[in-house]
């Protein structure tokens, strides 16, 4: 379903942008010749974070933002660790959070907590409007460059 993929990738791009990442490109029509087969792709360049832990927290939020955006759009609040289509996002979030929580039980609790916080945050009108606008543009154009993402988000968020 292209709409779900568009919302998923828009979630990654929006949260990356809000956390200070530079979205290079977001697409729902990725080239699969440079890695595993996937339905969408968001490329982010990060400024040097204040610490390795801050970077890990940002990566976790961006990884989980795609599944959370899909959950909100579909109305199905699944656990992001059990949906096969979200496995790569979950693995990356799990790996990034190891520096924060070496204990796996604490790490799982942290990832679930971040998912819930993102769910609450992304449902708010201004963020959801920006996310929906990004998804609409992705559906219309399939690929957005970083400047496009910045313009679209700026219309909705100060």
For residue range 76-110, list pLDDT tens digits in order: 989 999 999 999 999 999 999 999 999 999 999 99
pLDDT of residue 121 exceeding 90, the answer is yes
Distance in angstroms (rounded) separating the CA atoms of residues 11 and 64:
9
Query: Which pLDDT does position 50 carry in this prediction?
Result: 75
CA dihedral for 81, 35, 102, 97, sign (positive or negative):
negative
Helix 125-141 × helix 104-122 angle, to 10°: 90
pLDDT of res. 14: 97
Strands (DSSP E) found in 7-141: 22-27, 41-45
Alpha helices in 19-124 (DSSP H): 52-74, 87-96, 104-122
Does pLDDT of 39 surpass 90? no
Residue 69 pLDDT exceeds 60:
yes
User: What residues contact residue 93 under an 8 Å CB cut-off, 6+ apart?
Assistant: 59, 60, 63, 64, 80, 111, 114
Residue 33 has pLDDT above 60, yes or no: no
**Residue 72 in this model has a pLDDT that exceeds 70:** yes
The residues spanned by each domain of the chain are 2-156
Q: Which residues make Cβ contacts (< 8 Å) with residue 121, sequence separation at least 6?
A: 127
Contact status, residue 149 vs residue 44, Cβ threshold 8 Å: no
Weakest-pLDDT range from 25-29, 35-39, 63-67, 115-119:
35-39
Query: Under CATH, which architecture does the 2-156 domain have?
Result: Up-down Bundle (1.20)
pTM for the model stands at: 0.93
């Amino acid at each position: 379903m292209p709409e779900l993929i568009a919302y998923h990738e828009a979630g990654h791009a929006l949260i990356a942008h809000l956390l200070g990442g530079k979205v290079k490109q977001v697409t729902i029509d990725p080239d699969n010749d440079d890695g595993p087969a996937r339905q969408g792709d968001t490329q982010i360049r990060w400024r040097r974070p204040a610490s390795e832990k801050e970077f890990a927290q940002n990566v976790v939020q961006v990884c989980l933002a795609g599944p959370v955006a899909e959950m909100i759009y579909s109305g199905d609040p699944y656990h992001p660790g059990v949906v096969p289509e979200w496995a790569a996002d979950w693995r990356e979030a799990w790996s990034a959070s190891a520096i924060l929580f070496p204990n796996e039980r604490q790490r799982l609790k942290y990832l679930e907590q971040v998912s819930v916080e993102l769910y609450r945050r992304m449902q708010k009108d201004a963020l959801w409007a920006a996310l929906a606008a990004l998804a609409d543009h992705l559906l219309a154009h399939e690929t957005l460059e970083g400047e496009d993402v910045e313009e679209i988000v700026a219309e909705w968020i100060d």
